[in-house]
């Protein structure tokens, strides 16, 4: 029997399941960070939701912890890296709320189309306003789905029942898979040009932040109605408020905000906007599923069995030779996602050098995990990433080579005409050593600017001057030439993104062939 410390409310069936497995269930709600440090010693498992912060200090204090379970999806409040270093398993319940989130999306879609909250408030206030709150039908309208992960797919299936025409933007989904769902894949700008309604189901990443802003809304079909139940910050709230006030957008239904509670968001002042306080997962069924799922995971972990929703176990149990390459492989997957911009039909991963003689299956999973973490609305783990690749129509091929000509070990990721390569330098420092056909040597950074240009005098000065004018500091810069020596590449590591205006100016400069701002998503 082990002691399971529960610091936040989870469904009673989950608590019962832990007790039935023979464990001591110690429920301590409302603990302060200091009180948590006092009670966590001696616990073999810690079960939390979103309020409890599991820091490295907590993990050190809980020296007998074997598993931390988050009864929900996100893991922002858990230091997963520190848990991995200490051999503590981290598990969550990634599928507990997808039905609830999809149904809430449909609820907002209908509420927005028929002005239900506005009419309700008017009638409760004694006003009979039939003509003012005239709505629109869903039947025959075009719904644009931005992101066809699990929630987006469930929304699409339900929208089909209303007789809607479905289009979607998801560069990480194969066209064949989209056709199976009954959805046509289109570019993002085409989606907003054609759609009567748009619903967002994307992860929150540096590249999706502010995705729906002034530029995108400027090309939207007049009368567009927008729904966001994914993550706050993907929609530029000020830009959306301007578009609604100008009459370009008919209205919006929002469950999430950049800052929560949203305070003085201009959207709250508009009658055309329907809002809810982040209720996507707030159903009895979702909470029950989360509680039961996390209890099941904890019971399996304490029994030493296979745990389906463990997010960090493979990294902790990897071969000692392979283990240092796991973070490198994941970062290469993220970098490849940013470079390629869409999912290739085939992803090739090559391991060269002595590492090729070891079991590299974990590295293959890590690369896919990095790739899909940039594109999936739900958490991606080592356990579910292979299934995710299958669902999205990605064929993964892993190959090995006994020697690597320039480096001791090398990991290459190829697909769709794009290539990234990396290795470990010195004491395990990850380096990017290949971008497309150009050899470079550059540390990873939150942001990279890759410029391909004619191999001629003055190009470096042109680019660095543009960055200096924008007051952007350069951390590192590497120059390389293509094999034919006609073109060259500049790979520049930065601590902040390059403004779009600077990117456009560089792209228009003579001698510049391509400008790629990349994020380690």
| Residue whose token pair is 């150009």 | 438
Q: What are the angstrom distances between the C-alpha of 268 and each of 230, 253, 272, 275, 426?
A: 18, 11, 9, 8, 54
**Count of CA atoms in the C-beta half-sphere (13 A) of 315:** 26
Start-end of H helices in 304-410: 313-317, 325-340, 361-373, 385-391
**Which residue has 């009895």 as its token pair?**
284
Query: Considering 38, 260, 395, 496, which one is annotated as catalytic?
Result: 260
Residue 342 a catalytic site member? no
Structure token pair of residue 137 = 């039908």
**Count of C-beta atoms within a 10 Å radius of residue 29:** 10
Please report how many Cα atoms fall inside a 13 Å half-sphere around the Cα of residue 87, on the Cβ side.
6
Answer yes or no: are the C-beta atoms of 70 and 90 closer than 8 Å.
yes
d(CA 46, CA 295): 11
Catalytic hit among 104, 150, 231, 392: 231
Contact 97, 289 (CB under 8 A): yes
Which residue(s) pair with 172 in the sheet?
none
Termini Cα distance of the chain: 41
Crossing angle for the helix pair 150-161 and 98-114, to the nearest 10 degrees: 50
Residue 405 designated active-site? no
116: phi then psi, degrees, rounded to nearest 5: -60, -50
HSE-CB at 80 with a 13 A cutoff on CA atoms is 16
- Of the residues 278, 358, 418, 505, which is catalytic? 278
Q: CA 188, CA 248: separation in Å to the nearest integer?
A: 18
Give the span between the Cα atoms of 268 and 243, in whole angstroms. 14
Q: Is residue 165 annotated as a catalytic residue, yes or no?
A: no
Residues 6+ apart with CB under 8 A from 280: 97, 100, 101, 104, 105, 229, 255, 256
Give me 133's structure tokens. 């709150």
Question: How far is the C-alpha of 392 from the C-alpha of 387, rounded, in Å?
Answer: 9
Query: What distance in Å separates the CA atoms of residue 298 and residue 70, rounded to the nearest whole number?
Result: 10
Contact 376, 398 (CB under 8 A): no
Residues with a catalytic annotation lie at 231, 260, 278
């Amino acid at each position: 029997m082990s002691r399971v410390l529960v610091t936040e409310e989870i469904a009673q069936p989950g608590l019962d399941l832990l007790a039935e497995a023979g464990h001591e269930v110690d429920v301590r709600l409302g603990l302060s960070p200091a009180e948590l440090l006092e009670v966590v010693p001696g616990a073999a498992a810690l079960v939390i939701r979103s309020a409890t912060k599991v820091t490295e200090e907590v993990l050190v204090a809980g020296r007998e912890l074997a598993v931390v379970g988050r009864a929900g999806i996100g893991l922002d409040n858990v230091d997963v890296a520190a848990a991995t270093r200490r051999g503590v398993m981290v598990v969550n319940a990634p599928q507990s709320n997808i039905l609830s989130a999809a149904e809430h999306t449909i609820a907002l879609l209908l509420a927005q189309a028929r002005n239900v909250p506005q009419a309700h408030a008017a009638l409760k206030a004694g006003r009979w306003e039939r003509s003012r709150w005239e709505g629109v039908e869903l039947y025959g309208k075009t719904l644009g789905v931005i992101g066809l992960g699990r929630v987006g797919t469930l929304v699409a299936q339900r929208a089909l029942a209303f007789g809607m025409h479905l289009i979607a933007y998801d560069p990480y989904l194969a066209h064949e898979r989209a056709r199976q769902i009954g959805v046509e894949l289109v570019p993002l700008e085409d989606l907003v040009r054609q759609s009567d309604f748009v619903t967002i189901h994307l992860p929150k990443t540096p590249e999706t932040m502010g995705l729906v802003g002034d530029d995108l809304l400027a090309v939207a079909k007049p009368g567009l109605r927008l729904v966001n139940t994914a993550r706050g910050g993907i929609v530029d709230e000020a830009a959306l408020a301007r578009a609604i006030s100008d009459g370009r957008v008919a209205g919006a239904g929002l469950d999430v905000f950049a800052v929560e509670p949203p305070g003085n968001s201009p959207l709250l002042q508009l009658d055309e906007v329907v809002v809810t306080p982040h209720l996507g997962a707030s159903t009895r069924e979702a909470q029950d599923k989360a509680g039961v799922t996390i209890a099941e995971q904890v019971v399996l972990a304490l029994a030493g069995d296979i745990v389906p929703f463990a997010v960090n176990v493979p990294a902790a149990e990897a071969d000692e030779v392979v283990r240092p390459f796991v973070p490198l492989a994941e970062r290469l997957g993220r970098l490849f996602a940013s470079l390629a911009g869409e999912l290739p039909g085939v992803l090739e991963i090559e391991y060269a050098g002595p590492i090729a003689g070891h079991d590299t299956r974990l590295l293959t999973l890590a690369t896919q995990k990095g790739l899909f973490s940039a594109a999936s609305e739900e958490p991606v783990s080592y356990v579910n990433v292979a299934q995710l690749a299958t669902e999205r129509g990605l064929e993964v091929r892993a190959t090995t080579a006994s020697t690597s000509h320039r480096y001791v070990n090398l990991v290459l990721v190829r697909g769709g005409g794009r290539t990234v390569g990396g290795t470990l330098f010195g004491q395990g420092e990850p380096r990017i050593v290949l971008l497309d056909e150009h050899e470079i040597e550059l540390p990873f950074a939150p942001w990279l600017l890759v410029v391909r240009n004619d191999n001629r005098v003055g190009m470096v000065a042109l680019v660095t001057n543009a960055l200096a004018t924008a007051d952007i500091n350069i951390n590192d810069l590497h120059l390389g030439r293509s094999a034919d020596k006609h073109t060259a590449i500049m790979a520049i590591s930065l601590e902040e993104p390059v403004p779009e205006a600077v990117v456009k100016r560089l792209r228009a400069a003579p001698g510049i062939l391509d400008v790629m701002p990349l994020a380690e998503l």
